[in-house]
Structure 1
Amino acid sequence: MHPDHTEPPAPTSTPPPAPSRGHRRLRNTAVTLALGTAMFAVGAVMLTPDGTTAPRPASHGQSAGAPRGSIEALQARAARLPKDPGGWAALGMAYVQQARSTADPATYNRAEKALRTSLTVQSAENTDAEIGMGALAAARHDFPTALRWARKATTSGPHSSSAYGVLADAYTQLGRYEEADEAVQKMVDLRPDAASLARASYAFELKGDTERARALMRRSLAAAATRADTSFAHNVLATLDLQDADPRAALARTNTGLRAAPGDSALLETRARAHMALGNTAKAIADYRAAIAIAPLPHYLLGLGELEQSLGHREQAEAQYTLLRAQDRIREAAGDPADTDAILFETDHGDPRRAVTMAEQTLRTRPFVAVHDAYAWALHKAGRHKAALVQADKALATGTRSALFHYHRAAIHHALGDDEAARRDLNEALREPEFHPLHADAARDLLQRIDTTP
């Protein structure tokens, strides 16, 4: 995960089609996670001889039982079979996935229309549409609503791993991590496929156990049956490489992923960060621009803007910041809560007091570690250091190894006069030496000042 953009690990997986030849079904597979309390039994996930977990999962973003195919094909099916709730649910989920990839708010509206049509056709026991509505709410960062739909879906479809995936995502973003772990455990028990293993990986990543996170994500990659599954796994593994200060491995991993999916914006953004860590700023800028051309997501714009700023390219940086301000005006007009990127941007490049207000509004419905961190940074920049430390501690309470979170807390400790605590956090942050285009140098400067102070 991007250090300041921690999100649900993947869209919901779905029950599979019949296994293809060459992929034997798993029988009596036992997967024991006991997330957060015991060791994950890595060998418990049994693989077929070619390294894939069978049966094969359907593509991320499709609803349970949904037919494969393009949005156009799903539109045609819905027009041909207007009383088929599954067809409308599949179309709605396809729109959700498209909106995640393109950052187009209008596509979310189309998703909701299709999903509500499915619920109109079949109002009760419509697990597919309930999963879709939960995924849609999560994509819009309305996690209390996502939780309500996920609970409906797990009630109507108690054997649906997809429903438990939405439930896990909602609990995670609501800061209810033990309940999220239970939902992930149930999801893996029902179906140890690419999506459930990815969520298990993310659960360990949030706890700072990157070794287990990596092992599980490798199994998610082995289980991948679609390009989306494969690209996602490569991207997470590359991000873990960056956290482990191995940008060359991250570069190799993203190159592998991009050979199969050259238009994957997430892989392009992660490769940009790998190039940046290696000092190849021209290549980093090119990859950021390519990612933004595909999907102008806020963390892409912020990453490029801050990289340009670090290089002294004021006009180029301001061009990205102008787009971010425009996006935030649209968000504010819609009444939506701010994402962490918007809060951090306002803190560092706008009015920290406004950022505090934004963070407080977001925290009401999303008490997640990344929001606590953004709130801490806004409070610190607004001069409220004691309150900031409370939030920074909450951001790091799960054990996450985010370098940015540790830098933020280090600056807060320093402002409060606790340089020993600041030194510990700075050393932890700088285990990833180029964790941020602006703050990494600031972290080194602060550590040097602390170490040379009598």
Structure 2
Amino acid sequence: MHRPKDPPAPALRRRRHLRNTAVTLALGAVLFTVGAVGLSPAGSGRPDTPATASPAAGQARGIEAMRERVRRLPKDPVSWADLGMALVQQARTTADQAAYAQAETALRRSLTLRPAENLHAEIGMGALAAARHHFRDALTWAREAVATSPMTPASYGVLADALTQLGRYEDAEDAVQKMADLRPDSSSLARASYTFELRGDTGRAKALMERALRAAGTPGERAFAHTHLASLAQESGDPATALRQADAGLADVPRDPGLLAARAKAHAARGEFGRAVADHTAAVAAAPLPQYLLEFGELQQSLGHREEAEGQYAVLRAQETLRRAGGAPADTDAILFEADHGDPRRAVTMAEAAVRERPFIAVHDAYAWALHRAGRDERALVHADKALAPGTRSALFLYHRGAIQQALGDTAAARRDLRRALAIDPSFHPLYAPEARSAVRRLGGTP
């Protein structure tokens, strides 16, 4: 018996009968700001590697092969652009800031060789700008790529990612729709899934991400789909399914840091703390990204392992020092870390700069929390409301708003948001889920 074919590209808007929505970022992690899947015009987001290889080792081998190619073909603009794109991906997955500078050098070399209608380099420059959180620059490059080749789906992926981060959500949906219409592959289906997830329609989001998994052509694309299927399950309070998805992905791509982090969170939610610590340790060893460091540090803190937590926080502080020296905008993880484990007033300053460059719901949420921690709750509530306006089902966002409402004396609203957070995911945060349960009891409700 033949499996029924998947339906055609999804309609992101049902002829505009759906309410206006904001396509946004959840969980403090940029899912698509550099187009984690399907960035190259050929359709593959990262070099394919054997399933037994570590992602970092596979990336390094792929980049060395590309370097050898540009040595042999120094006047080939496509080879330089491909090298630049691979270096962007390496920097994104390993937190190697030097790789961004190398990527820009390679991409600009490509543009020198072919200044006009250089699709590969335009897409690469858009991805590089997004990875550095320069989203207006990313939008400019994406528009150039669309003008160069209006029928190339990857151009619309970069365009959608930039528009999303700039708060232009309907325009972003249109770009995703165009991408899916041109080629309903793993990359476009993943972005369509993301659109529905952040409307709060997790059922449609899961169905589309499962289609993205079936359409995946490389281990990297399969790892990406499994990671986000695990996240969808975890954020819906289903750690058993999250664990199955993470295990399935790691069977295909062992040592993938995103999958290791997803499995760590699932283990922690199930009370399997030794396994959670082991997986978090492996994830930060493979890719010491702020998101993984903060998650691991706060898990260790929740377990009473203060020295181990401080080890992760020390790396975060060092990364923040480098960020400030380079003048890059702060990410949400850095803002939340500063608010909770550093100077809340500095966190407010970081968030103010970030939201000007990136008026995006995760940034509004981080800004709200920084303001709350700095004692500015009336202003904090404005941004907490903006973070939740699209209907996104985020337990952490709801907890933040509930805590702000509690500080303002609005007991009923605080109790409502805190209970909703716990209903969505009872283990949404190792430190704040227990606090939410205690707060609900103090406010006269049952968790």
TM-score, length-scaled by structure 2: 0.88
Task: Output the amino acid matched with 1:448.
Answer: R
Task: Output the amino acid matched with 1:222.
Answer: R
Deviation at 1:36, TM superposition (A): 9.3
Contact 2:239–2:267 under 8 Å retained in 1: yes
CA shift digits 1:294-344 (9 cap, x unpaired): 010111111111111111111111111111101100000101111100100
> Which residue is 2:339 aligned to?
347
- The answer to whether structure 1 residue 77 and structure 2 residue 69 are counterparts is yes
> Which residue is 1:438 aligned to?
431
Deviation at 1:100, TM superposition (A): 1.3
Task: Output the amino acid matched with 1:429.
Answer: A
Contact 2:405–2:411 under 8 Å retained in 1: yes
> Which residue is 2:214 aligned to?
222
> Which residue is 1:53 aligned to?
none
- The answer to whether structure 1 residue 317 and structure 2 residue 309 are counterparts is yes
Q: 1:406 to 1:68 in 2, by over 3 A?
A: closer
Deviation at 1:428, TM superposition (A): 1.4
Deviation at 1:37, TM superposition (A): 3.8
- The answer to whether structure 1 residue 89 and structure 2 residue 68 are counterparts is no
Q: 1:421 to 1:37 in 2, by over 3 A?
A: farther
Alignment of 1:184-203 (within 5 A): 184-203=176-195
Partner of 2:75, secondary structure, is: coil
Alignment of 1:20-419 (within 5 A): 31-34=10-13, 37=16, 60-64=38-42, 70-419=62-411
Task: Output the amino acid matched with 1:93.
Answer: M
Deviation at 1:38, TM superposition (A): 5.0
Contact 1:59–1:226 under 8 Å retained in 2: no
Contact 2:75–2:113 under 8 Å retained in 1: yes
Q: Distance in 2 between matches of 1:36 and 1:289?
A: 47
Contact 1:373–1:405 under 8 Å retained in 2: yes
Q: Distance in 2 between matches of 1:293 and 1:72?
A: 22
Q: Distance in 2 between matches of 1:173 and 1:393?
A: 18
Q: Distance in 1 between matches of 2:236 and 2:162?
A: 28
Q: Distance in 2 between matches of 1:38 and 1:440?
A: 36
Larger deviation, residues 264-273 vs 240-249: 240-249
Q: Distance in 1 between matches of 2:255 and 2:229?
A: 18
Q: Distance in 2 between matches of 1:65 and 1:327?
A: 32
Deviation at 1:414, TM superposition (A): 0.8
Deviation at 1:35, TM superposition (A): 6.8
Q: 1:127 to 1:146 in 2, by over 3 A?
A: same
Task: Output the amino acid matched with 1:78.
Answer: V
CA shift digits 1:111-132 (9 cap, x unpaired): 1111101100000011110000
Q: Distance in 2 between matches of 1:130 and 1:193?
A: 21
| Unmatched 5+ stretches in structure 1 | 1-24, 40-57
Contact 2:37–2:224 under 8 Å retained in 1: no
Q: Distance in 1 between matches of 2:179 and 2:241?
A: 30
Contact 1:151–1:167 under 8 Å retained in 2: yes
Q: Distance in 2 between matches of 1:247 and 1:29?
A: 31
Task: Output the amino acid matched with 1:75.
Answer: R
Contact 1:353–1:382 under 8 Å retained in 2: yes
Deviation at 1:33, TM superposition (A): 2.7
CA shift digits 1:252-310 (9 cap, x unpaired): 11011001111200000010000010001111111000001101011111111111111
> Which residue is 1:18 aligned to?
none
TM-score, length-scaled by structure 1: 0.87
Contact 1:84–1:121 under 8 Å retained in 2: yes
Q: 1:30 to 1:162 in 2, by over 3 A?
A: closer
Q: Distance in 2 between matches of 1:65 and 1:358?
A: 36
Contact 1:61–1:96 under 8 Å retained in 2: no
| Unmatched 5+ stretches in structure 2 | 19-35, 49-61
Contact 1:61–1:94 under 8 Å retained in 2: no
CA shift digits 1:380-407 (9 cap, x unpaired): 1111111000000000111111110000
CA shift digits 1:193-244 (9 cap, x unpaired): 0000000111111111111110110100010000111000001001111112
Partner of 1:430, secondary structure, is: helix
